């Protein structure tokens, strides 16, 4: 199983099975793409069938205003969720983007699982939200990934109407150290 960069914007258009991947329709857009695969990846014309061989996928594109690279959508195949593939893939894209000269990467996340996964990938909460109540995370983190800022994001999720599983997840993180990424300061 390995991470692969399929292309920078404009990247390949991937048609994914909507029953297996969240946001499946978003990967048809010509943004950059990276994947986790455990064998050959078969990319077809989106009109002719599904892309095969993908376990996880992320799309990304540059912000037109400040040159930051935005991770737009991250999706892990339904039967592989919870294995750390999303955070591993986002860390892979983070490293390729910084090698390419991007100084800032951002992502807006709409659930506590993604929030935790992006912390594991070295991102940190900025304290900002989008108009869709997504929490904005950034790499490198503006505050060095402080425990207080990590908890601030968790607290925002805790104040929301969550599913039972999300509530258990958020409650289980209270009093627990933040996820660690060895490349990022523990300040």
Are residues 151 and 179 in contact, defined by beta-carbon separation less than 8 angstroms? Answer: no
Q: What is the CA radius of gyration of the chain?
A: 16
pLDDT band with cut points at 50, 70 and 90 for residue 187 = very low
Q: Is residue 88 part of a domain?
A: no
Residue 82 scores a pLDDT above 80 = yes
Are residues 73 and 108 located together in one domain of the fold?
A: no
Q: Is residue 85 part of a domain?
A: no
Residue 186 scores a pLDDT above 70 = no
What is the Cα–Cα distance from 125 to 168, expressed in whole angstroms? 21
Residue 126 scores a pLDDT above 50 = yes
Q: Is residue 51 part of a domain?
A: yes
Q: Is residue 98 part of a domain?
A: no
Are residues 3 and 73 located together in one domain of the fold?
A: yes
What is the Cα–Cα distance from 114 to 87, expressed in whole angstroms? 8
Q: Is residue 184 part of a domain?
A: no
Are residues 110 and 175 located together in one domain of the fold?
A: yes
Section 115-142 average pLDDT: 95
pLDDT band with cut points at 50, 70 and 90 for residue 182 = very low
Are residues 71 and 133 located together in one domain of the fold?
A: no
Q: Is residue 55 part of a domain?
A: yes
User: How large a percentage of the chain has pLDDT more than 90?
Assistant: 83
Which residues constitute the domain of residue 70?
Answer: 1-78
Rounded to two decimals, the pTM is 0.91
* Structure confidence at residue 181 (pLDDT): 63
Residue 184 scores a pLDDT above 50 = no
What is the Cα–Cα distance from 13 to 7, expressed in whole angstroms? 10
Number of domains in the chain: 2
Q: Is residue 120 part of a domain?
A: yes
Top-confidence residue, 143 or 112: 112
Question: H helices within the chain, ranges in order?
Answer: 85-99, 112-120, 147-158, 164-173
Are residues 67 and 129 located together in one domain of the fold?
A: no
Q: Is residue 92 part of a domain?
A: no
Are residues 116 and 173 in contact, defined by beta-carbon separation less than 8 angstroms? Answer: yes
Are residues 174 and 122 located together in one domain of the fold?
A: yes
End residue of a domain, out of 61, 78, 95:
78
Section 33-40 average pLDDT: 96
């Amino acid at each position: 199983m390995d991470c692969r960069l399929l292309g920078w914007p404009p990247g390949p258009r991937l048609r994914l099975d909507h029953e297996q991947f969240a946001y499946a329709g978003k990967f048809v857009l010509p943004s950059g793409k990276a994947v986790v695969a455990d064998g050959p990846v078969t990319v077809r014309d989106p009109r002719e069938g599904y892309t095969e061989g993908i376990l996880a996928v992320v799309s990304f594109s540059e912000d037109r205003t400040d040159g930051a690279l935005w991770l737009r959508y991250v999706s892990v195949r339904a039967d592989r969720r919870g294995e750390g593939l999303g955070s591993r893939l986002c860390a892979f894209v983070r490293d390729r983007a910084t090698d390419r000269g991007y100084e800032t990467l951002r992502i807006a996340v709409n659930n506590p699982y993604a929030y935790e996964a992006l912390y594991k990938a070295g991102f940190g909460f900025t304290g900002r939200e989008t108009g869709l109540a997504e929490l904005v995370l950034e790499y490198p983190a503006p505050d060095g990934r402080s425990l207080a800022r990590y908890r601030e994001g968790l607290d925002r999720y805790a104040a929301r109407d969550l599913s039972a599983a999300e509530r258990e997840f958020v409650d289980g993180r209270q009093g627990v150290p933040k996820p660690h990424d060895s490349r990022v300061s523990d300040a």
